Amino acid sequence: MANSSESRHGMWSSRWLFVLAASGSAVGLGNIWKFPYITGENGGGAFVLIYLACVALVGVPIMIAEVLIGREGRQSPINTMRMLTQQHRRKPAWVLVSWMGVLAGFLILSYYGVIAGWALFYVMRMAEGTFNGASADFASQAFNDFLADPWQMVFWQTLFMALTVYIVGRGVVKGLETAIRWFMPMLFVLLFVLLGYGINSGGFAQGVDFMFSFNWESVTGESFLIAMGQAFFTLSLGMGAIMAYGAYLPSSASITQCVVTIAVLDTVVAIAAGLAIFPIVFANGLEPSQGPGLMFVTVPLAFGQLPFGALFGAIFFVLVSFAAITSAISLTEPALAYLVEEYNAKRSRVAISLGVVCWLLGIGTVLSFNEWSDVFVVGDLTIFAFVDYVSQNIMLPLGGFFIALFAAFALPKAVVVSQLGLKGRVWEVTWKVLGGVVAPLGVLTVFIVTIIGIDTIKDWF
């Protein structure tokens, strides 16, 4: 039985608001450029099937674990874990899992705000028609010139962080919920407008072939690891965001139904983004490339060659910005909720303080692309690369791993059965196997391979 029927921070008006909020957290920059690309490179339709299996076996169980812990505690992730360990007489060390997740989310936000600022900048550049009829060299040079100017990058980073702080500072209902009510429906509308544009671009058949042809010969052992990693990271797991959102979920809502719906929406957005982007890329005879090269060079170049390209290119970057802001909101919430609880502070003041600290940390990321590009923290890792590596490849997987174990083995059976509404021994065993064995092992495998390196492991065999 839950410790409280409501969180002191407020509650989602309905389970659908929770679904939209958690989907907004899950739908980010990675959905728009990464998933379509890795799908095409790892077997197309074959990879999609593998990915869906990984979502079902790894992503969904860990998300269920986060939500049920959050709803049981009804507090920030840190205080929820602290309360549950004391209440059920578990080792205090479990609380370190929530601290690590909250810190990881905060570190990610420090550079996420910088990259999201790029999207805001490109809304303006596309609307101005900067890339109309542009050459590949021009598009590439325009992006490099932007990265070389720290003042421009700081301006757009500041604008994005100010918007994030304003939203989260207004609270769950007035801030988070109001933003989600507007941003998520608009995100879906814009995405399907772009999808319609891509269908009529002339390269739709090639884009579909790139993403969905069943090329089993392209599937390797590494493809399974990539699918497993994407299934974990795309759902915003391991950083406390989903746990914080779960604390605001009404007691009457089915956790399992909500999580499955979120996973489906996240996957639909990723697939639709690919079907919107790649037909436009192929229609112009361009090669898809991974990362910022696709988002900020290839896509602007592709839109610049098409009728009404400036308009639809601007719409695309508005879409990217919406996806970024909904993710940034969720990255801020765990730390903000903890500080409000711990110091009984006014939410708006805490939001501003966190925003300033995060903004200052983000300056390191800004300078990593220009003035400090030759400053390395460890090996060849710049400040940006180091923060990204530690948070994404170490802290998040470990957080997801231990959260799953805590929910499956540390929480009393009665709590899990009550929160998930499990009826019958079969469902209890199914949860224990998926949440306590399959999902943690999947995340642990990705973690080990990432740290050691796939090439090193291949050499062992």
9 within domain boundaries? no
Domain that holds residue 22: 15-460
294 within domain boundaries? yes
Q: Please, what is the average pLDDT of the chain?
A: 88
5 within domain boundaries? no
7 within domain boundaries? no
The pTM of this model reads 0.90
pLDDT at 1: 43
181 within domain boundaries? yes
pLDDT at 291: 61
User: CA of 389: how far to CAs of 42, 64, 377, 451, in Å?
Assistant: 23, 26, 11, 10
176 within domain boundaries? yes
Is 48 a residue whose pLDDT tops 70? yes
- Band of the pLDDT at 7, cuts 50, 70, 90? confident
Is 213 a residue whose pLDDT tops 80? yes
| CATH number, residue 248 | 1.20.1740.10
Q: Which residue has the higher pLDDT, 221 or 453?
A: 221
Is 271 a residue whose pLDDT tops 90? no
pLDDT (tens digit per residue) in 334-372 = 999 999 999 988 999 999 999 999 999 999 999 999 999
1 within domain boundaries? no
Domains of the chain: total: 1
231 within domain boundaries? yes
Q: Which residue has the higher pLDDT, 447 or 158?
A: 158
Distance CA 456, CA 448 (A): 11
Question: Which residues lie below 8 Å from residue 447, measured CB to CB, with a gap of 6+?
Answer: 393, 394, 397, 398, 401
Is 9 a residue whose pLDDT tops 80? no
